């Protein structure tokens, strides 16, 4: 663990991989190693600008910053690797085997504390989170959680997504806490499924918000007329086309421009042509398949 405090980036990188090997060979150490890696990512960090990354200068300061960037990305990749039950992307392959507790890289049961961490182009797609804490985190660049499964509480309060946030095909079995979050790009929740109460409060969405074909098993509260000051702000509109609430006894509070209609055993959320609705253009790829779903044929291309 002392290697992670070394002044040389290559030593820190070596320390990360040494910890990974230790945890892989000794399951009883996996939670402790995960906590150490998360603690490293929670340390203060000022990310480089995109220009500096694309055209780094020759100074030692630039070099050190670029090397630290690589160390932090490696730390993120280690966490993601061991939160997956199958090789990344396997869910997109028709006929691929389903997730297995026996996948050797998977570390079942570990929890994450990435509160206030700065995360760079993070890719947690298809990860299985037992419990995770991202409150106050800053996501630089694209943040991908596509196809992830959240078993317990998922906290994204006061987070800042500077780029797009991909939560398509995600399944939330526990509560999702996301109040006071800021989304700087498209917020993609297409095809996601929420098993507990869903509620938005004081989120700010700069880009479009997509909940196309999402499923809600409990309350779905996008706004709350009794507390207008807590309403989220949709600067570029929200798309709820095809979204459904399965339990007809639950409370549904759709945003302006949307209403509910009885739809068999549940209710559909449909547009009434209000000003809040704008076509969700730019859906450049099909939504990620949820666990157990067949992938859209377009993924094969």
129, 154 Cβ separation under 8 angstroms: yes
Per-residue CA distances from 148 to 123, 183, 268 (Å):
10, 19, 24
Q: What are phi and psi of 272, to 5 degrees?
A: -110, 20
- CA distances to 95, 218, 251 from 248, in Å: 35, 9, 8
Specify the 3-state DSSP secondary structure of 118.
strand
pLDDT at 90: 85
3-state helix, strand, coil in the chain (%, to 5): 25, 20, 55
Phi, psi of 283 (to 5 degrees): -70, 85
Q: What is the pTM of this model?
A: 0.91
Q: 114 and 136 in contact (C-beta within 8 Å)? A: no
- Measure the CA–CA gap between 287 and 213, rounded to whole angstroms: 9
pLDDT tens, per residue, the chain with 301 residues: 667 766 788 888 999 999 999 999 999 999 999 999 999 999 999 887 765 665 655 455 567 888 899 999 999 999 999 999 998 888 888 765 555 556 899 999 999 999 999 999 999 999 999 999 999 999 999 999 999 999 999 999 999 999 999 999 999 999 999 999 999 999 999 999 999 999 999 999 999 999 999 999 999 999 988 898 999 999 999 999 999 999 878 889 999 999 999 887 789 999 886 544 445 555 678 999 998 888 988 887 5
Enclosing H/E stretch for 36: helix 30-42
Task: Report the phi/psi class of residue 279: left, alpha or beta, with left for phi > 0 and alpha for psi in -120 to 50.
Answer: beta
Is the CB of residue 128 less than 8 Å from the CB of residue 82?
Answer: no
3-state SS of 181-199 is CEECCCEECCCCEECCCEE
Contact yes or no for 204/184 (Cβ under 8 A): no
What pLDDT, on a 0 to 100 scale, did the predictor assign at position 282?
Answer: 58
End-to-end distance of the chain based on CA atoms, in angstroms?
44
């Amino acid at each position: 663990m002392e290697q992670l405090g070394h002044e040389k980036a290559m030593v820190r990188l070596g320390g990360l991989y040494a910890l990974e090997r230790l945890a892989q060979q000794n399951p009883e150490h996996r939670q402790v190693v995960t906590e150490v890696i998360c603690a490293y990512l929670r340390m203060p960090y000022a990310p480089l600008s995109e220009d500096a990354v694309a055209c780094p200068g020759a100074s030692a300061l630039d070099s050190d910053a670029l090397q630290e960037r690589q160390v932090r990305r490696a730390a993120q990749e280690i966490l993601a690797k061991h939160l997956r039950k199958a090789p990344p992307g396997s869910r997109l392959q028709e006929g691929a085997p389903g997730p297995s507790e026996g996948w050797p890289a998977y570390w079942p049961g570990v929890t994450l504390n990435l509160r206030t961490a700065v995360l760079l182009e993070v890719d947690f797609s298809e990860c299985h989170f037992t419990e995770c804490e991202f409150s106050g985190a800053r996501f630089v660049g694209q943040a991908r959680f596509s196809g992830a499964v959240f078993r317990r509480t998922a906290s994204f309060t006061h987070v800042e997504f500077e780029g797009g946030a991909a939560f398509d095909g995600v399944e939330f079995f526990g509560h999702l806490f996301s109040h006071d979050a800021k989304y700087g790009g498209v917020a993609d929740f297409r095809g996601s499924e929420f098993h507990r109460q869903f509620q938005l409060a004081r989120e700010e969405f700069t880009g479009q918000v997509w909940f196309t074909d999402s499923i809600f098993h409990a309350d779905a509260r996008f706004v709350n007329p009794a507390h207008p000051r807590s309403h989220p702000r949709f600067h570029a509109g929200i798309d709820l086309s095809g979204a459904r609430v399965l339990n007809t006894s639950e409370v549904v509070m759709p945003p302006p421009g949307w209403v509910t209609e009885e739809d068999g055993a549940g209710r559909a959320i449909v547009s009434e042509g209000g000003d809040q609705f704008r076509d969700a253009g730019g859906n450049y790829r099909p939504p990620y398949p949820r666990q157990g779903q067949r992938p859209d044929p377009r993924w094969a291309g």
